[in-house]
Chains A and B, each alone.
Chain A
Amino acid sequence: MTTSANKDKNIGFPLNIKSTIPKHRQELLKWNGWGYKDSQFVYQDGKVHFTGKRYPIGEQPLPHLIGYVTETMGVDLNIQSIERDPPKEFDYPEPNIPQNVFELLKSLEIPYSVKIMDRVTRAHGQTLNDVFILKNGQFKRIPDVVVWPESHDDVVKLVKFGNENNLVIIPYGGGTSVSGAVECPQDEDRPIISLDTSQMNRILWLDKENLVACCESGIIGQDLERELSKLGFTTGHEPDSYEFSSLGGWVATRASGMKKNTYGNIEDIVVHVKMVTPRGVLQKNCQAPRMSCGPDFNHVIMGSEGSLGVITEVIIKIRPLPACRKYGSLVFPDFESGIKCMREVAKQRCQPASIRLMDNDQFKLGMILKPAASYFGIILDGIKHFYITTIKGFNIDKMCVMTLLFEGQEKDVKISEQKIYSIGEMFGGVPAGEKNGERGYMLTFVIAYIRDLGLKYQIVAESFETSVPWDRAVTLVQNVKYLISRDCKNFGITHFVINSRVTQTYDAGCVIYFYLGFNYSNISDPVSVHHQLEEKARDEIIACGGSISHHHGVGKLRTKWYTDTVSRVGADLLVATKKELDPNNVFATNNFLTFSTKSKL
């Protein structure tokens, strides 16, 4: 039903795509950090700048950053941590795979590698723990072999092979997981195969009539958007990781994109999905827009985090490219007024494609990352005019900025802008220009690079997120910040940052994103301390009515709260599903719950 039916009408399909990311990722991407090798914050000759031309911030001095890291974070720029070299073959044990099984694998004629860099690269995602280990230590367990299937059929073969030979398969997409989901369980003694989907990245067909496209799951966000836009379309799905993360990964974690207000979250975008399990392929028989047909098994696949099977092909909705795209921003006297405004916007259901609210700390951080002359100057810049006239009452240490992105027909954008700004006014908001809005979104992509700079100077940092009903949002933020500040002190941490932003709005609540970082020069086990802080924060989030996660997923990091979140019955249901789909625990990810790897389920 996929390729053949549409072949004739779809000239040029299946579309083979040359991905931005090479098969051996480490050739373009950092092996031990976030993003492109050529893009990073560098401290040199008393100045910090961002390298490369990929991002607008690149190749410009960032004079305010030094003051911030030295004063706020207590960094001593003269002390730079030494990061370890890329691992050599002898750093890790030989692949744990019996010769006969290995021969069988080879006979499948699917590209593979047992090179150490390929294996280590796929042993992790992007959690603080992962990156810290890359820079300072060694993983307890890495995949024994990496395979690159090139089609759905390859995956079927691999899963069958794994199931028959008592192997473990861990699906690997874009490698941007922040839940520990792709990490190998440490005590797994069966051979572990990392199934890298990156070579299954074709757009198989495109249905302009119904506005859907069938893609292989390994396609990454930027490739998908680039290719679709050539044809005049977009998915509109833009998670912050979309440069690197894959379609399959989005489905497997229930991803959410920045522009979900216009285009929906992944569950709204997915029309049909195929998942290869040891029991066969789970899928539906049509691409109808909605069905009343018992529990929707798409929702068994979505969020399964690689523990039930491999997602191979996904039919997604596409939209014509918008005619107009416009940024905007509003400044509010404080966080609470900003939230009230968001609530009202959500109530009237007039959200633009994206609406976000940064708290004062993030607002300042954004300003600090501005290439400009003076700290005072940067706040004035762009919002100068309103500052002089209206700001008087605004407190620099309280104010917050809301960033907006409008997409659609020009006249609709105009109407939408008017509406948002007038609601903003009701809550004391003052328009602060397009530039500030645009910078806000640009920074989203750049901020991910900051951690690598921090780690060089003894700063650990990580983000965590949640979703919460509207009436509990303000207290949730307040309590988490209080708790982190208190416990940082208890741990003897002297310099830390805990800030937040509201990144999504819904009818019934919003999404809150926290960023927590601290100077660990006097802490012996910073990753564990960070983990403990995050755990306390999550306990408090849940006590305040927040969720286990909005879009990062559960993985291994958040198993503690899984059963309580879904109830005992829910957890048992997952176990039963697992037993049915993967009786031999081939997909032994240990995400959600620890399914026994030793005894068969």
Chain B
Amino acid sequence: MSAKKFEDLLEPRRRELSNYFYINRALNPQVAVQISPRPSPQSHQEAVLNSKKISELVTEISQKQNVKREEIVKQLRLILEEIGYKKNLQVIRYLGYLLTKIFLKVSTGVYVNHQGISQIKSQMGKCPVVFVPTHRSYADFIVFSYVMFAYDIEIPAIAAGMDFQGMMGMGEMLRNTGAFFMRRSYNDDSLYWSAFKEYVNQLVSKGDLPLEFFIEGTRSRSNKSIVPKYGLFNMILKSFFLSQVPDILFVPVNVSYDRILEESLFAFELLGIPKPKESTSGFFKSLTILKESFGNIYFNFGEPISTRSFFQHKSQHSFGSIHLHETSEEEKKLIPPLAYEIIRRQQLCTVVTYTNLISLILSKNLTRGQQYTGFEQLGVEIGMWKQILQSWGATIFEKDVGEAIRECLKVQQKLLHCDENGNIGLVTNKISVGKLNPSKLKAHVLSEDTISYSVPFIMLQLYANPILHYFVDAALIVIVLRSFGKMIKDELFKHYCTLRAIFSYEFVLLESWFKMRFEDALLKLKQEKIISLHQNGLYYDVFENKYFEEVLISSVQPFLLSYYVVTVVLETVSEMVDEKTILVNVQSVLENALRENKIFIHPYCLTLDTLGNCLMSLAKNNIVKKTRRNNINVYDVNREAVRKLKANLEIYIPAFHVIKSFDMFLHLKSKI
């Protein structure tokens, strides 16, 4: 697909003398549902207070606690004020102006697939519409609203975390553009949660604004998809299950950045060095970014998913007061496939940029010990990847290769540099961490050397991560074949499933889709001659395309290594162990191995995101049992299961031999 698919919102802004008229143009924003009279922020809050559910709750509490109804209503009003969105066109226009100026300064383009958004706009007006963008940066919120402003769509009611509220001024500003706020902490303030749920119910079933929320629940620090969170999603879907609305359209949106605002913060966070609490001063500090260049931002709107068509389900709420109904257990079971489908579609909407390809290729070359990659070589490899990804259905953001590499080098100048001979490599030793307070670290106290060595690698990996989903399945198949040798299909599938299940948090996938993905990956591998069938089509084995084989294997190496080390650690620690102890041990083993500097170990394996994914996956697969005690996660380790998994992963480690002749396995062993 060509770049023409995308339109640059900044292009006309750059050409005009002043953006004033654009910002103050007459708006006739498209609503999600035509309702007259139009509901207002205030009317929604009143509707919550007057809802049967809430007024019954008020009665109940007032009787139980012997407090006056008015008292509780007063509390509720405060809660609703904390939650509720507002609409202030002046603020919207002001922010629009500010953003235009900022974008023109730091961005080269804000690209949107205009056909996608026009299609959605044309479908709006009849039933609730929920935008579900990927969440990779704080900027998502604001840029998304900017795009809506540009296409004259009502700025959605956006579910935001309370942490924004802490940023003085910022929270209110966002609120005035339509953000509503959800407390993050899991307390059992039943009054709060009842009010919040009812508020969401009102927005969905009686509101006319589109909604927007992040199904991943939080910004993905790794720049790849994370498993869906269900809290808010369930609340939104309730209106559908109870037939309060005829349908809900979920619009998957992929938002990606040539350079993420928080990239270095994320890299530190991934190592366990905590993020600063969101505060306005932090925000203003980040205003220094105005001097930098962030390249393009890409918005790719996917096709709306009709909940109605997706579920094809019969409602089961014919008895009793409808306002007392909740989503049934049976209906809840329908929800995960929809959530995963939304994430899958977000992934399908990935805009593959040259930055992604460059990161992938450089990372591979670094892994094979090649510190520098020549400009020409990079161009050639990019060409190969473009072709393969395109044939796999990816959307590539087209550009002239040479120009693209130069632009990437410019945008990523803190990370990448190119010497006079055209050799491209990581910028190293530029990061000074300063004094760290060990008590604030989330895991192991990594040495300053380790940190400053690792951060560039991790940052580089952040830009390879968004496209890993295109080939992770192929990579796992190749690793199996490389480790075991030729194999019949059934056997291969079994091994694939074991590995895939372990990585189902790392590379988000529903178990019921394994078969489909497996078949799909096999086909791709055969097409690219990475694997082939032998002996009358009975056995699969690796084939002649060694280049792609190597990239595939190297792409998952850090993850496999992390997971392996987790099993190693779990074998040695006590059977009841808290999360931090595990993380500390794993990081310490890996740091030692890294320090040896004998062989190349990708520092991404130190990341807490990956270790966290691993622990969740182990819990899901009943290898550990997770409980929460005094606010910390404690794991009950099933030693036998861990041993089995370890033995299993162990087999795959030597697959890295392909990359360079070293015995990583033995090397690691010596460190443990």
Task: List the interface of chain A (C-beta within 8 A of B).
Answer: 395, 398, 469, 471-472, 475-476, 478-479, 482-483, 485-486, 539-540, 542-545
Contact = CB atoms under 8 A, between A and B. Distances in A.
Given A471-B322, A482-B126, A540 B317 contact: no
Contacts of B246: 478-479, 482-483, 486, 540
Q: Which of B246, B247, B315, B317 has the most CB of A within 10 A?
A: B246
Contacts of B243: 472, 475-476, 479, 540, 543-545
30 contacts: A398-B36, A469-B322, A471-B321, A471-B323, A472-B243, A475-B243, A475-B244, A475-B245, A476-B243, A478-B246, A479-B243, A479-B245, A482-B126, A482-B127, A482-B246, A482-B247, A483-B246, A485-B126, A486-B126, A539-B314, A540-B243, A540-B246, A542-B314, A542-B315, A542-B318, A543-B315, A544-B243, A545-B243, A545-B317, A545-B322
Nearest to A476: B243
Interface in B312-332: 314-315, 317-318, 321-323
B412 to A, nearest CB: 47
A485 B126 CA distance: 9
A545 B126 CA distance: 21
Contacts of A395: 36
A479 B246 CA distance: 5
Contacts of B318: 542, 545
Contacts of B247: 482, 486
A543 B36 contact: no
Contacts, number: 41
A543 B331 CA distance: 13
B322 A472 contact: yes
Contacts of A479: 243, 245-246
Nearest to A480: B246
A479 B240 CA distance: 10
Nearest to B239: A475
A472 B323 CA distance: 10
B192 to A, nearest CB: 26
Contacts of A483: 246
Nearest to B127: A482
Q: Which of B126, B247, B322 has the most CB of A within 10 A?
A: B322
B128 to A, nearest CB: 11
Interface of B: 36, 126-127, 243-247, 314-315, 317-318, 321-323
Nearest to B242: A475
B611 to A, nearest CB: 45
B129 to A, nearest CB: 13
B126 A544 contact: no
Nearest to B52: A471
Given A395-B36, A398-B36, A482-B126, A544 B315 contact: yes
A305 to B, nearest CB: 24
A539 B312 CA distance: 11
Contacts of A545: 243, 315, 317-318, 322
Nearest to A546: B318
Given A475-B244, A478-B246, A542-B318, 17 more contacts: A469-B322, A471-B321, A471-B322, A471-B323, A472-B243, A475-B245, A479-B245, A482-B126, A482-B246, A483-B246, A486-B247, A540-B246, A542-B315, A543-B314, A543-B315, A545-B243, A545-B317
A482 B247 CA distance: 9
A483 B246 CA distance: 7
Contacts of B36: 395, 398
Contacts of A543: 243, 314-315
Nearest to B308: A483
Contacts of A540: 243, 246
B35 to A, nearest CB: 10
Contacts of B127: 482
A545 B243 CA distance: 9
The 3 closest A-B pairs by CB, nearest first: A543-B315, A479-B246, A482-B246
B240 to A, nearest CB: 10
A540 B244 CA distance: 11
Contacts of B126: 482, 485-486
B459 to A, nearest CB: 47
A323 B322 CA distance: 42
Contacts of B245: 475, 479
A542 B316 CA distance: 9
Contacts of A539: 314
Contacts of A469: 322
Nearest to B314: A543
Contacts of A475: 243-245
A39 to B, nearest CB: 38
B244 to A, nearest CB: 5
Contacts of A471: 321-323
Nearest to B205: A475
A118 B174 CA distance: 75
A469 B243 CA distance: 13
A597 to B, nearest CB: 31
A469 B245 CA distance: 17
Nearest to B322: A471
Contacts of A542: 314-315, 318
A564 to B, nearest CB: 9
A570 to B, nearest CB: 15
Nearest to A393: B37
A478 B239 CA distance: 13
A544 B314 CA distance: 9
B560 to A, nearest CB: 47
A542 B244 CA distance: 13
Contacts of A485: 126
A544 B323 CA distance: 13
Contacts of A478: 246
A545 B316 CA distance: 8
Contacts of A472: 243, 322
A205 B199 CA distance: 64
A379 B317 CA distance: 40
B518 to A, nearest CB: 34
B293 to A, nearest CB: 46
Nearest to B313: A543
B398 to A, nearest CB: 35
A471 B51 CA distance: 12
Nearest to B317: A545
Contacts of A476: 243
A478 B244 CA distance: 9
Contacts of B315: 542-545
B245 to A, nearest CB: 7
A469 B323 CA distance: 12
A569 to B, nearest CB: 18
Contacts of B323: 471
Contacts of B321: 471
B544 to A, nearest CB: 49
A213 B317 CA distance: 43
A272 B315 CA distance: 39
Contacts of B314: 539, 542-543
A502 B244 CA distance: 19
B490 to A, nearest CB: 41
Contacts of A398: 36
Nearest to B315: A543
Nearest to A543: B315
B478 to A, nearest CB: 44
A547 B322 CA distance: 16
A540 B36 CA distance: 24
A22 B401 CA distance: 89
A332 B314 CA distance: 33
Nearest to A486: B126
Nearest to A481: B246
Nearest to A333: B37
Nearest to B241: A543
A540 to B, nearest CB: 7
A99 to B, nearest CB: 52
A537 to B, nearest CB: 11
Nearest to A564: B314
A540 B322 CA distance: 16
A544 B36 CA distance: 23
